[in-house]
Amino acid sequence: MTVQLVRDDLLPPADPPPRRHLISIGDLTRDDVARLLATAGSFERSLEREMKKLPTLRGRTVVNLFFESSTRTSSSFELAAKRLSADVMTVKSSGSSVDKGESLKDTALTLAAYDPDVIVIRHPQIGAPTLVSRVTGAHVVNAGDGKHQHPTQALLDLYTIERNVGPVGGLHVAIVGDVLHSRVARSNIQALTLMGARVTLVGPPALIPRGIEAMGCEVSTDIAAIGSADVVYVLRMQRERMEAGANYVPSLREYTARWGVTPARIRPGQKVMHPGPMNRGVEIDPVVADSVDALIETQVRAGLVVRMAVLYDLLTHGPVEVESEVAQEVA
């Protein structure tokens, strides 16, 4: 019997590609961000077609594991995986065996038994995504861990700014409100400064972490500091993360009076963003939230294509010709 050899049979087996995760904006270079945003742009064009589903991740499995409430992040990761033809499973801690005391490690090991390619995790504890990356073989995406990081939120915010205001480099973004408890603020400060924006944090002294200027931003306790910003990024007052009995502000009424983003404090054409969910009438006036300069629903739409890009990029190990994939629609 003759054994047929082809050239690659004579080569040593290739090392498996390194497993990649997205746990922090600190994992990314400027080139990575630019590539992800360009990929998201290609996916946005693909969604203009009548047939929106692409075959790109057919046969891949994405597990969404949510230990905290979510509307935007959870729904957009699920839809992103479905639009790319992956099998997707969403597990929420409430109603799962977490209610019976199962640990994060055992929950992760249990779901890892299905060999998921990607685990997307939201958890109230800082470091939970790193733990999951250590105990499973999946690529891990941080969908928010405590007040640490929410990297895909920052990426979708960069995408929204680029598409609706202009190149991020050189823009001035004011981030207003409860920075202390905000993973969105930490991710956005890193992402915006990485891409060359000027960032000013504005809020009550007790809600601005001491020493945060070391991240490359400016700080002001005067709401007038938003006046020169191209974009005013409003943060939610995160009452669920505030220590019981701690007085960060005298009262919510006082907070709104001094730091609320109201029509009188915004000039026409100044763009307003908010990651959601909003406390209308607390950190943002409903008139501002519903104005033509508010990009809040645009951010949600960007979340879908940016999360498609993140899943795609992790699983294809880098830049791939999205345009050619778009051509192969699922029939």
Nearer to ligand CP, 54 or 273 (CB): 273
Tell me the closest approach of the beta carbon of residue 297 to ligand CP, in angstroms.
12
φ, ψ for residue 198, nearest 5 deg: -95, 130
* CB within 8 Å of 9: residues ≥ 6 apart: none
Nearer to ligand CP, 72 or 301 (CB): 72
Nearer to ligand CP, 260 or 275 (CB): 275
Buried-state track 38-57, b at ≥16 Cβ within 10 A, e below 16? ebbbbbbebeeeeeebbebb
Catalytic residue among 21, 122, 123, 198: 122
Catalytic residue among 60, 150, 183, 307: 150
Catalytic residue among 73, 152, 160, 256: 73
Interaction site with ligand CP (CB under 6 A): 70-74, 144, 153, 275-277
Is 100 noted as a catalytic residue in this protein? yes
Listed residue (166, 231, 223) closest to 198, CA to CA: 231
Whether residue 218 contacts residue 198, with contact meaning beta carbons closer than 8 Å, is answered with yes
Listed residue (199, 191, 197) closest to 174, CA to CA: 199
* CB within 8 Å of 219: residues ≥ 6 apart: 200, 201, 202, 208, 212, 213
Cα separation of the two ends of the chain: 43
Tell me the closest approach of the beta carbon of residue 211 to ligand CP, in angstroms.
25
Catalytic residue among 35, 52, 72, 301: 72
Burial of 72 (0-12, 13-18, 19+ CB in 10 A): middle
In angstroms, rounded to a whole number, what is the distance separating the alpha carbons of residues 217 and 213? 5
In angstroms, rounded to a whole number, what is the distance separating the alpha carbons of residues 325 and 314? 16
Nearer to ligand CP, 54 or 63 (CB): 63
Tell me the closest approach of the beta carbon of residue 323 to ligand CP, in angstroms.
29
Tell me the closest approach of the beta carbon of residue 165 to ligand CP, in angstroms.
19
Residues in the chain: 331
In angstroms, rounded to a whole number, what is the distance separating the alpha carbons of residues 304 and 93? 23
> 66: which 2 tokens?
């949510």
Nearer to ligand CP, 20 or 72 (CB): 72
Nearer to ligand CP, 277 or 281 (CB): 277
Tell me the closest approach of the beta carbon of residue 87 to ligand CP, in angstroms.
22
Tell me the closest approach of the beta carbon of residue 241 to ligand CP, in angstroms.
13
Catalytic positions, written as ranges: 72-73, 100, 122, 150
